[in-house]
Amino acid sequence: MTLNDETKTLALVGGTAITPFRTEADCTLVLAGGKIVHMGHQDDVTPPADAERIDVTGHYVLPGFIDIHVHGGRGLDFADADATTETFDEISRFFAGCGTTSLIATVYPQPTEHLLACVRTLRRYCESAGPGRILEGIHLEGPFLNPEMHGAIRPDYIWPPSVEAFRLLIEAGGPWVRVMTIAPEMPGAMEVLRAASMAETAGATRGARPAHPLHMSIGHSKAVYEQIAEAIDNGLEGVTHIFNGMPPMHHRRPGVLAGTMLRDELFVEVIADAIHVHPAVLQLLMKVKGHDKIILVSDAIRAAGQPDGEYVFSGQKVDVRKGRAYLASAHDTLAGSTTTLDKALRTMIRHAGASLVQAAQMASLNAARVLEWKYRRGILAVGKDADLAILDKDLNVQITIKAGRIVYRA
């Protein structure tokens, strides 16, 4: 994926930096050794003589996008039984072209041995890939979900929650399992939440201790408000694709949505494609949760970057019509998306009233926070990782830089 020499110093001159807490015009950033080593007004920063100088005047320089919920793209899925290094490289190339510098590969529930094999394959890739790697972890969307809220996931693939099954998954994925979606109302799910929140418990079997806390997110759930409050006490931190995979809000029977809106502890994923969530509801979400608690995700399936047609998701046929993916067996059930985070960023700005600064934070820093990368990623400043997306005035991606390397150039 690398397009420039890994040892070369890059100087991005004259762009408008979105830090993403403020806008800094006429900015120069110098990248070396995978880090931002100088940053400031172009009159105050002199790039080294040997740096490759890139004029980005008239462009925006943002932290690279971090997508914590993505199943695949370019006709490929992270959960494919025949997935290889080339599969993951091709998916990564596609998303790098959309400004994404970190992907968390999301896998849906499958029969036990198939899911464990899938997780092991992803782990091997993450461990062997170099510093220019885009794929940097695993999101287990389940398998401990509520079968009544399965959505586009096959209900017969959903597992009953147990700490023993959870440990099998952690043993398979090791520290690369970064996010798990769970339905806390299912019998045994609270015990799984506690195990995931206590590193010494989660890693008690054969040295499988995670190197970081696992971000636990509620999804595909019918939990009532009281169960959500209990789950938060037991380590729940997030909400998976809010408004999807959960009942609508009811004023006498508060559930996932009421708990999400009321509890400030919870970060929320949202698929901002103006299909999964109406623009007016995106505006409501901004008003209630605030941009510092919203994480833009794609939930992209293999149809992303592909023409309309028939595809497969979770062992089921999916029809894609005008970029919208529906289960062939249930024409009103959305089956993931075909969007990417550059599109989501534009949607939040053009249809939900977000500023570029706010949208940039939702596309990068908030995900970095839940992944415990907040001191390395999602911010433009000296010492931070040189993961950047350069956008033109129409917010189209022109250059993507990962660890100081150009991985995409329009």
Residues 104-125: tens digit of each pLDDT: 999 999 999 999 999 999 999 9
User: Rounded distance, CA 139 to CA 123, Å?
Assistant: 12
Cβ neighbourhood burial of 95 (10 Å; 0-12, 13-18, 19+): buried
Range 326-353 average pLDDT: 93
- Residue 283: partners with Cβ closer than 8 Å, 6 or more residues away: 352, 353
Strand stretches in 154-196, DSSP E? 177-182
User: Rounded distance, CA 29 to CA 40, Å?
Assistant: 7
- Mean residue pLDDT of the chain comes to 93
Strands 135-141 and 397-402: unpaired
Q: Are 370 and 361 in contact (CB under 8 A)?
A: no
Domain locations in the chain as residue ranges: 10-62+378-409, 65-370
Confidence of residue 129 (pLDDT cuts 50, 70, 90): confident
Does 205 score more than 80 pLDDT? no
pLDDT at 203: 42
Provide the phi-psi class of 64: left if phi over 0, else alpha when psi is between -120 and 50, else beta: beta
Confidence of residue 202 (pLDDT cuts 50, 70, 90): very low
pLDDT at 208: 45
> Do 65-370 and 10-62+378-409 fall under one CATH topology?
no
Does 210 score more than 50 pLDDT? no
User: Rounded distance, CA 137 to CA 119, Å?
Assistant: 10
pLDDT at 199: 57
Beta bridge pairs of residue 73 = 76
Which residues form the catalytic set? 299
* 314 vs 71, residue with greater confidence: 71
| Inter-CA distances, 71 with 52, 91, 130, 131, Å | 35, 9, 21, 22
**Does residue 247 have a cis peptide bond before it, meaning omega lies within 30 degrees of 0?**
no
pLDDT at 375: 85
Strand stretches in 192-293, DSSP E? 215-218, 238-239, 267-271
Confidence of residue 329 (pLDDT cuts 50, 70, 90): confident
* 247 vs 1, residue with greater confidence: 247
* 209 vs 149, residue with greater confidence: 149
Does 398 score more than 90 pLDDT? yes
Looking at 3.30.450.20, 3.40.710.10, 3.20.20.140, 3.40.50.2000, the CATH number of the domain 65-370 comes to 3.20.20.140
The predicted-structure confidence for 158-170, as pLDDT tens digits, reads as follows 999 999 999 999 9
pLDDT at 374: 81
pLDDT at 204: 40
pLDDT at 330: 78
Tokens 């939440």 belong to which residue? 193
- Residue 172: partners with Cβ closer than 8 Å, 6 or more residues away: 116, 119, 120, 123
Tokens linked to 342: 């550059």
Range 314-342 average pLDDT: 90
Does 305 score more than 70 pLDDT? yes
For a pLDDT cut of 70, what percent of the chain falls above it? 95
Range 382-401 average pLDDT: 98
226-240, 318-332, 365-379 — which is least confidently predicted?
A: 318-332
Does 410 score more than 70 pLDDT? yes
CATH class of 10-62+378-409: mainly beta
